[in-house]
Amino acid sequence: DQQVKQNSPSLSVQEGRISILNCDYTNSMFDYFLWYKKYPAEGPTFLISISSIKDKNEDGRFTVFLNKSAKHLSLHIVPSQPGDSAVYFCAARDWGGSEKLVFGKGTKLTVNP
Amino acid sequence: GAVVSQHPSRVICKSGTSVKIECRSLDFQATTMFWYRQFPKQSLMLMATSNEGSKATYEQGVEKDKFLINHASLTLSTLTVTSAHPEDSSFYICSARVSGSYVGELFFGEGSRLTVL
């Protein structure tokens, strides 16, 4: 049972445009959501996060939106740059206090020059 | 940011042999490390939580006798795949959290690609 779903395995956008990566979840006990970026041959690196008590968090070109009623979050990258091309993983934490994260399958973003 | 290093990055072994993968936090101490496994086109799946000086906590469905975890120091955790079989072929990746930091600050190793022939 996939508790964190990234339904788009890939996304291609033009440099300078907005990239929107989506993530849906099923477990209403998740209290913290994170996005990780992964380049080939490297481990994932933390990008941005959002607590379930918020609906938006912004860091430079990256903004994460959370819609709790829809159990949906999205990562917006504006403007997109070729260096943003990577696999993006959405992850969620169960509020039970465990540090355990549940990951989505990832979305491969390609930003074309 | 903090650095986590895994070794080896790739390993090929024969069925029935054991393989050890090391995960090191290079510039910080990690009381807790996590081991994940990722099959092609699948999510990173948590296998176990490794705690320094104590037994690892395994996720449901993960055989603790097959995947031996040792976290003997604050900078090193090892995963040993015992009696490996072709179905154990996967991408294994560790992560560590800087003690006292919030949940987002998980630092991942580069991953280890295991191929069992």
User: Per-residue confidence of chain A (113 residues) as pLDDT tens digits?
Assistant: 789 999 999 999 999 999 999 999 999 889 899 999 999 888 899 899 999 999 999 999 999 999 999 999 999 999 999 999 999 999 998 766 566 789 999 999 999 99
Distance from C-alpha of B49 to C-alpha of B35, rounded to nearest angstrom: 6
Could you say which residues from 70 to 89 on chain A have a Cβ atom under 8 Å away from some Cβ of chain B? Answer: 89
pLDDT of residue A29: 87
Q: CB–CB of B103 and A44 under 8 A?
A: no
CA A31 to chain centre: 15
Distance from C-alpha of A89 to C-alpha of A23, rounded to nearest angstrom: 9
pLDDT category at B103 given cuts 50, 70, 90 is low
DSSP 8-state class, residue B32? E
Residues in chain B: 117
Least confident among A95-104, B19-28, B52-61: A95-104
pLDDT category at B102 given cuts 50, 70, 90 is low
A42 Cβ under 8 Å from any chain B Cβ: yes
Q: CB–CB of B34 and A93 under 8 A?
A: no
Q: How far is A99 from chain B (nearest CA, A)?
A: 7
pLDDT of residue A95: 67
Task: Answer whether residue B100 shows pLDDT above 70.
Answer: no
Residues in chain A: 113
For residue B100 the two structure tokens come to: 């006292």
Percent of chain B with pLDDT over 70: 92
Name residue B4's beta-bridge partners. B25
Q: CB–CB of B106 and A103 under 8 A?
A: no
Choose from A1, A25, A46 for mutation: most chain B CBs within 10 A: A46
For residue B22 the two structure tokens come to: 């090391």
B43 Cβ under 8 Å from any chain A Cβ: yes
Q: Read off the pLDDT of each residue in B41-56 and give the average, rounded to a whole number.
A: 88
Q: What Å distances lie between residue B18 and A76, B6, B48, CA to CA?
A: 43, 17, 18
CB B56 within 8 A of CB B69: yes
Q: CB–CB of B93 and A43 under 8 A?
A: yes
DSSP code per residue over chain A: --SEE---SEEEEETTS-EEEEEEE--TTEEEEEEEEE-TTS--EEEEEEETT-SEEEETTEEEEEETTTTEEEEEESS--GGG-EEEEEEEEETTS---EEE---EEEEEE-
Average pLDDT, chain B: 89
Q: How far is B48 from chain A (nearest CA, A)?
A: 9
pLDDT of residue A15: 97
Handedness of CA A17, A7, A92, B42 (dihedral sign): negative
Least confident among A90-104, B61-75, B92-106: B92-106
Q: CB–CB of A2 and B103 under 8 A?
A: no
Task: Answer whether residue B1 shows pLDDT above 70.
Answer: no
